[in-house]
């Protein structure tokens, strides 16, 4: 499986659960998630992809410069539209290229250092980041929207899925 297909599978899982979620539950605070919402975690996840998309065209990715778009986290239809747009970009992404990743860890200054990276490396990072937040969203979904039916592999890394397929049932 290539990175584009793996990413599209992740985006399809996100789209599937958002379609099932009521508009109210999409932005309902979850006590388990420290009063964060499913929509906020989804928005955070999608904005990393948006930063990747923007950086792919400009040559510089900076995940700190996210928009924190309230509409994506409060309107499930805007979130779905955003997922579809990102998926179209990913499906058409064919060229590997060198990029720069700007990072800033100084709490006293808004300064960034540039690190060499590649489009494939950053796409892999976005997949891992999405899986991590999907695992968190899964916890919130169980609390605020237990009616949502998630894929059994929702929020699981490919390595975990392969591992679980190869261990005896007695240990699962």
Q: What one-character DSSP code corresponds to residue 30?
A: E
Q: Which pTM was predicted? A: 0.92
- pLDDT for 6 equals 94
d(CA 74, CA 76): 6
Report the phi/psi class of residue 34: left, alpha or beta, with left for phi > 0 and alpha for psi in -120 to 50.
Answer: left
10-14: long-range contacts, CB 8 A cutoff, minimum separation 24: 10/127, 10/130, 10/131, 10/134, 11/83, 11/86, 11/87, 11/90, 12/87, 13/134, 13/150, 13/151, 13/153, 13/154, 14/42, 14/45, 14/46, 14/83, 14/130, 14/134
pLDDT tens per residue across span 12-31: 999 999 999 999 999 999 99
What is the SS3 assignment for 59?
coil
**Strand bridging mode 113-118 / 60-61:** unpaired
Q: What one-character DSSP code corresponds to residue 152?
A: T
User: Over the chain, what is the mean pLDDT?
Assistant: 94
C-alpha 123: how far from its chain's center? 11
The residues with which 118 forms a beta bridge, in sequence order, are 98
- pLDDT for 53 equals 97
pLDDT tens per residue across span 78-127: 999 999 999 999 999 988 999 999 999 989 988 999 999 999 999 999 99
What angle do helix axes 38-58 and 3-20 make, rounded to 10 degrees? 150
Instruction: Give domain limits for the chain.
Output: 3-171
Q: Averaged over 143-162, what is the pLDDT?
A: 92
Greatest distance between any 2 Cα atoms in the chain: 53
What is the SS3 assignment for 106?
coil
Domain 3-171 has CATH 1.20.120.450: yes
Question: Dihedral (C-alpha) 166, 170, 171, 172: value to the nearest 10 degrees?
Answer: 80
């Amino acid at each position: 499986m290539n990175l584009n297909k793996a990413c599209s599978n992740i985006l399809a899982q996100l789209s599937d659960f958002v379609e099932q979620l009521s508009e109210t539950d999409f932005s309902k605070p979850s006590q388990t998630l420290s009063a964060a919402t499913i929509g906020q975690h989804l928005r955070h996840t999608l904005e990393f992809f948006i930063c990747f998309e923007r950086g792919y065209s400009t040559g510089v990715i900076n995940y700190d410069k996210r928009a924190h778009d309230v509409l994506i986290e409060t309107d499930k239809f805007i979130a779905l539209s955003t997922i579809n747009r990102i998926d179209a970009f990913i499906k058409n992404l064919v060229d590997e290229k060198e990029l720069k990743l700007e990072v800033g860890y100084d709490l006293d200054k808004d300064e960034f250092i540039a690190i060499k990276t590649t489009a494939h490396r950053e796409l892999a990072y976005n997949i891992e980041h999405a899986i991590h937040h999907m695992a968190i969203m899964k916890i919130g979904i169980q609390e605020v929207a237990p009616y949502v039916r998630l894929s059994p592999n929702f929020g699981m890394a490919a390595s975990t899925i392969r591992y679980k397929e190869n261990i005896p049932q007695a240990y699962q």
